[in-house]
Structure 1
């Protein structure tokens, strides 16, 4: 009982301190320490039996393992975003989109850009890095409150694209290993759910923004936004080419290179931006340097939360939670959705929630005769819900490191888009599958 209180208390502490604006690099290990102490884990490997769980090893394996796996991807993505900004390519594309869609469609433009890149296989973090400069320009031109930028970025990336049938994102691929399905599993239901999330989420986001504008909110410039007006911008169609390079290369090499295709694709995007727009750069070297610093800050924040999840996974309380939620009575699809969603929330990771739950859920539910495709799509959708609580790595990185906002200002809208909308989508999927659609 004490261990369970410690695990839940540690999560609450992490969320509360994060919402208050404390640095994740301090908050995450402190919250993990609280979990470890309440669960009786030794603090150091020297105090534990050989190979036994302990606080230091659990935290640092999670922290360093994430950096080892994703640093080059973060680096390439951050540099790509900066060179797009410094060359004027992001401004050129944003102005062109505004001219074509009108100022009122600024939000739609940001969401659409994120959706295209995400469904093309570009990592969520990279999409946020890449599209943010364009989003700032669009929101500035349309005079919309910038605190809604993280919500627009996340909505286009983590809802109707990330977990949909055919998506090359890892959240759609993990179930294949355990359920023997394909990336197109349950595509009929997935299509309906995706359309629902897209339409409902966009309507809700626009409603929140309109309310804020009617209350007198508008775009507030920052010192970092004050750039000299460019006498000339690159051609918008040429500026779109680097984005297409990232999309095409990441999609084309995904099967052969896996996640490494993202590094190749983003590096190709940087090269394409330089070759096509080199005469428009203000300071290419400075843009690369700033991108590098941004990548380090972003990945460190994310890794800090992954380290917290590494400690949580070692506790007896976590094993109890996993055992309990994988044996929820009623429809196996409900049990699967709840199990993956809760574990994703505890670890702050959608992929982590699947990787932990599916080895247990898969054989158990398949032996019960549950349709594998229905289970695949349901758990994929639910994994993209509670993973976006305030302490989630993507949430913190997007709000703090990329957009420079506070949780107090930006999270209400972002939470609505990335938690509530996917939960509703998961419920809709369970209902449709229960009615026999797509089975």
Structure 2
């Protein structure tokens, strides 16, 4: 019954989340359902001592990254910087390469720390006008934005400040630049494969053209050119994020005296466990201050921009933290030992492959890259790290494969980002999801397999 309860709970989590019920409600209720079916276990103690403890621990660890990332995204959007960067890239690449231009514009923004949701809203009006002018089917637009926002800059490219690249750091003692060559290779596979697929699909469309679509409110949002910053001012905060992240990771923090971290009041930890997080915090904070300083006169109300970004960080982090709490409860149940042993035994000689399967499956079930990865690492991260160390596997490889695996099955139809993106574009799953699946699920999974094979060799 315990095993049935776990699978029933997981199935309901996936189905009800797809039906639009918030995970803040679903996660504790379904965790307690699995607990109830497990037998004689205390429900209230499980909720307060297991679920809430794991939820709180996740918030403590990652809230600064969610907060600063959301504020930075809002500042870049409200200042017009995100739009300027997108338009300049489109101009340089050329309207004849509309798909490539949109992918690169999204990639630059997300690699620079702008939230994928902010990028989707900022890029859509530009991309839509470009697709209309080039007479490319609009149904390919969501997949094009997804390729630039949900894939290579989220999980593959070294140094990306995306939360999916930060979560593995404390588990493996790594930083945001883990396995740079393999990560870059995976990113190249995603970019090249995705653009090739979308361009082929546009060519195969024959005389379909852009199509007839009702005009969206966002379609007419390109205005007030006189108030926009120049490209140099717009791109400066993005460049600063990348440079400071690398500088603090490799130069500043390693040369700091951090012996005090061994003291109990500072968590009795080591610098390798926190260096990656510290570097991203400093980089994002400095970029926010620079973006505000360079664009101060362009904000209608700076306080409102910062407040909106702050509030925008709360739902994402508590959604993910609730999924972490759910995973902690599942991992505490006696029947989970069967699942754990099955996952760890999938590839007994290759824990990297077992880790990839575990993260992909849980990301698919939860419809969340960060949520699925967090559940997998909180439940099995220590065991995977021990197995990897015992077999002499690089922890950087473990980190990169974990991040890559979170960006595979997460983009199934019930994924919140997919649903939001289709809503922004005014299209349906039937019209556009097949291409989203290819560029955001199939090709990233292929890239992950390539990294596992090369890393194993």
TM (normalized to structure 1)? Answer: 0.76
1:337 aligns with 2:360: no
State how 1:177-188 maps to structure 2 within 5 Å: none
1:238 aligns with 2:233: yes
Q: Match of 2:192, SS? A: helix
Find the counterpart in structure 1 of residue 72 from structure 2.
80
Give the whole-Å Cα distance in 1 for the aligned partners of 2:212 and 2:328: 41
Find the counterpart in structure 1 of residue 269 from structure 2.
none
1:31 aligns with 2:30: yes
Find the counterpart in structure 2 of residue 51 from structure 1.
none
State how 1:2-401 maps to structure 2 within 5 Å: 2-40=1-39, 41-45=41-45, 54-103=46-95, 105-116=97-108, 122=113, 126-129=114-117, 131-143=119-131, 151-152=143-144, 155-156=147-148, 159-164=151-156, 166-167=158-159, 191-205=184-198, 214=209, 216=211, 218=213, 220-222=215-217, 226=221, 229-254=224-249, 256=253, 257-328=275-346, 332=350, 334-342=353-361, 345=364, 348-350=371-373, 352-354=375-377, 356-364=379-387, 367=390, 378=401, 381-389=404-412, 395-396=415-416, 399-400=419-420
Which deviates the most, 323-332 or 101-110?
Answer: 101-110
Q: 1:331 to 1:262 in 2, by over 3 A?
A: closer
Find the counterpart in structure 1 of residue 444 from structure 2.
422
Give the whole-Å Cα distance in 2 for the aligned partners of 1:323 and 1:24: 27
Give the whole-Å Cα distance in 1 for the aligned partners of 2:323 and 2:168: 23
Number of residues of Structure 1 aligned to a counterpart in Structure 2: 419
Q: Match of 2:325, SS? A: helix
Contact 1:150 1:399 in 2 (8 A): no
Q: 1:116 to 1:404 in 2, by over 3 A?
A: closer
Give the whole-Å Cα distance in 2 for the aligned partners of 1:10 and 1:61: 20
Q: 1:38 to 1:143 in 2, by over 3 A?
A: farther
Q: 1:378 to 1:405 in 2, by over 3 A?
A: same
Give the whole-Å Cα distance in 1 for the aligned partners of 2:396 and 2:55: 33
Which deviates the most, 186-195 or 75-84?
Answer: 186-195
* C-alpha displacement of 1:274: 2.4
Q: 1:305 to 1:138 in 2, by over 3 A?
A: farther
Gaps of 5+ in 2: 254-274
TM (normalized to structure 2)? Answer: 0.73
Gaps of 5+ in 1: 46-53
Find the counterpart in structure 2 of residue 49 from structure 1.
none
User: What is the root-mean-square deviation of aligned Cα atoms in Å?
Assistant: 4.2
